[in-house]
Amino acid sequence: MTYQKYITIDPKIMAGKPVIKGTRIPVDLIIKKLAQKMDIDEILKDYPRLTKEAIQAALWYASEIISKEEVYPVSL
């Protein structure tokens, strides 16, 4: 899946936070809701402009960002 279809970053929207295109729903909000064990259907009910694909794109985006973080060696 490609997240570019669903995620946008615009300094004029939510101070440049990654959001779902066409909304002001930040990616981090979706991740937090999932981390709080909120069911996808509950999220969709609370945010009717979202789609399951957009939620999956938010997860994909987060994983891409994390995978690009530099890892520093741990001293033993």
- Model pTM score: 0.85
Q: Which two structure tokens, joined as six digits, stand for 21?
A: 């295109």
Query: What is the rounded distance in angstroms from the CA atom of residue 69 to the CA atom of residue 46?
Result: 32
Task: Tell which wins on pLDDT, 25 or 73.
Answer: 25
Measured distance CA(47)–CA(39) in Å, rounded: 12
- Give helix then strand counts, H and E, for the chain: 3, 2
Residue 35 confidence (pLDDT) above 90:
yes
| Residue boundaries of the structural domains of the chain | 3-67
Class (C level, CATH) for 3-67: mainly alpha
